[in-house]
C-alpha cells in the first residue's frame, strides 16, 4: 500500500458492505477501501451487513414505541419514532453513522440488477421519514436532509462490460442504478459520484485484481474532489410545481433518464 501525507482535513467515511462470503471480491474491495482511506488519514466506519446479521425487513418491530393496536403505517410510524428517538437501536445506530459521515460508500455485488436484499433492507430501514425525507426535513432533490455528504457505489457484476455500455442489452449501468443514485442519494440531498464498477467479477486473477485496486484507489483519492453526477435540482428551478422538467430546459432530443442530468461538459 502506498503511504499518503495526512490530508489537511481528515474526513469521516461510512463504508457499507453487503456480501455473505468474507473471502469474496466484495470483502476484499471493502478491506482495501478501508485501508486506503485510513492510510490517507481519514476515519472509516464499516457496516459489514452480513457480519452484523443485519435485519433486512421493515416491520412493526422497528418502531417499538408505537401503539400495536393501530394499523402499521410505515411513513407515519417511522417518522414518529425518528422524531421521538424511539427507533429500534440498530436503525438508530446506522442513522448516527450516516449523520456523522462526510461520505458514504456502498460495496455490493449487483444481484438482479440491484442491491442485494440485505442492503435494500439497510436502505429501507435506515432512511426513515423524519431522517431522510418527509415533511419534517428539508425538501428532496437538492438541499435535502443529508446534504453535504458524498456518495459512491462500488459494485461488482459478472457480465461483460459491454452488456452495461451505452447500447448494452442490460441498459447503461447509470440507468440500472438510477433508483439508488437519484432515488436514494440525490433525493435525500447527498452528492452521488459515478459508480466504481468491476465487470467480469466471476474470474479476477491476481494481476487483474491489482489493476482494479489501482483504479479504485484513484476513485477513493477523488472521493471529495471528483466532479459528481450533475443531476438537476428541484430547488434549482428546473422542475415545475408538478415535479416535471420545465419544457425547453434540456438540449433538443434528450429523453428518458437523461432529462434529469445537466449535460456533461
CA end-to-end span of the chain: 34
Q: Which stretch binds a second copy (CB under 8 A): 87-95, 112-120, 147-155, 191-199?
A: 112-120
Q: Which of 54, 30, 65 is nearest to 124 (CA)?
A: 54
Q: How far apart are the C-alpha atoms of 175 and 170, rounded to whole Å? A: 9
157 binds a second copy (CB under 8 A): no
28, with CB counted inside 10 A (0-12, 13-18, 19+), is middle
69 binds a second copy (CB under 8 A): no
The least distance separating a second copy from the CB of residue 258, rounded to whole angstroms, comes to 6
Handedness of CA 8, 14, 18, 19 (dihedral sign): positive
DSSP-derived 3-state class of residue 142: coil
The least distance separating a second copy from the CB of residue 165, rounded to whole angstroms, comes to 6
Instruction: Please work out, in degrees rounded to the nearest 5, the angle formed at the alpha carbon of residue 107 by the alpha carbons of 102 and 109.
Output: 160
Using the minimum distance from each CB to a second copy, give the nearer residue, 37 or 187.
187
- Among 10, 139, 168, 228, indicate the residue that binds a second copy (CB under 8 A): 168
Give me the residues paired with residue 261 across strands. Answer: 231
Using the minimum distance from each CB to a second copy, give the nearer residue, 116 or 196.
116
Q: How far apart are the C-alpha atoms of 252 and 265, rounded to whole Å? A: 16
Q: Which stretch binds a second copy (CB under 8 A): 6-14, 39-47, 105-113, 148-156?
A: 105-113
Q: Which stretch binds a second copy (CB under 8 A): 2-10, 19-27, 85-93, 222-230?
A: 19-27
- Site of interaction with a second copy (CB under 8 A): 20-21, 23-24, 50, 56-60, 71-75, 109, 111-118, 120-121, 123-125, 127, 141, 158-160, 162-163, 165-172, 175-176, 178-180, 182-184, 202, 234, 239, 242-245, 247, 253-260
Amino acid at each position: 500500500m502506498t503511504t499518503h501525507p495526512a490530508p489537511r482535513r481528515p474526513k469521516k467515511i461510512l463504508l457499507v458492505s453487503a456480501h455473505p462470503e468474507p473471502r469474496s471480491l466484495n470483502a476484499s474491495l471493502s478491506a482495501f477501501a478501508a485501508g486506503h482511506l485510513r492510510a490517507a488519514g481519514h476515519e472509516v466506519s464499516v457496516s459489514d451487513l452480513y457480519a452484523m446479521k443485519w435485519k433486512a425487513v421493515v416491520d412493526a418491530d422497528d418502531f417499538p414505541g408505537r401503539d400495536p393496536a393501530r394499523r402499521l403505517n410505515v411513513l407515519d410510524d417511522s417518522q414518529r419514532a425518528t422524531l421521538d428517538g424511539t427507533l429500534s437501536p440498530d436503525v438508530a445506530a446506522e442513522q448516527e453513522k450516516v449523520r456523522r459521515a462526510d461520505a458514504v460508500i456502498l460495496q455490493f455485488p449487483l444481484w438482479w440488477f440491484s442491491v442485494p436484499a440485505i442492503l435494500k433492507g439497510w436502505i429501507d430501514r435506515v432512511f426513515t421519514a423524519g431522517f431522510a425525507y418527509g415533511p419534517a426535513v428539508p425538501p428532496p432533490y437538492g438541499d435535502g436532509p443529508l446534504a453535504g455528504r458524498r456518495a459512491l457505489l462500488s459494485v461488482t457484476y459478472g457480465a461483460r462490460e459491454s452488456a452495461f455500455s451505452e447500447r448494452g442489452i442490460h441498459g447503461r449501468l447509470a440507468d440500472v442504478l438510477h433508483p439508488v443514485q437519484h432515488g436514494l442519494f440525490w433525493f435525500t440531498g447527498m452528492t452521488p459520484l459515478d459508480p466504481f464498477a468491476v465487470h467480469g467479477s466471476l474470474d479476477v486473477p491476481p494481476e487483474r485484481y491489482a489493476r482494479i485496486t489501482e483504479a479504485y484507489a484513484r476513485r477513493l483519492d477523488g472521493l471529495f474532489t471528483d466532479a459528481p453526477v450533475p443531476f438537476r435540482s428541484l430547488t434549482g428551478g428546473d422542475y415545475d410545481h408538478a415535479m416535471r422538467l420545465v419544457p425547453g430546459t434540456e438540449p433538443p432530443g434528450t429523453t428518458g433518464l437523461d432529462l434529469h442530468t445537466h449535460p456533461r461538459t
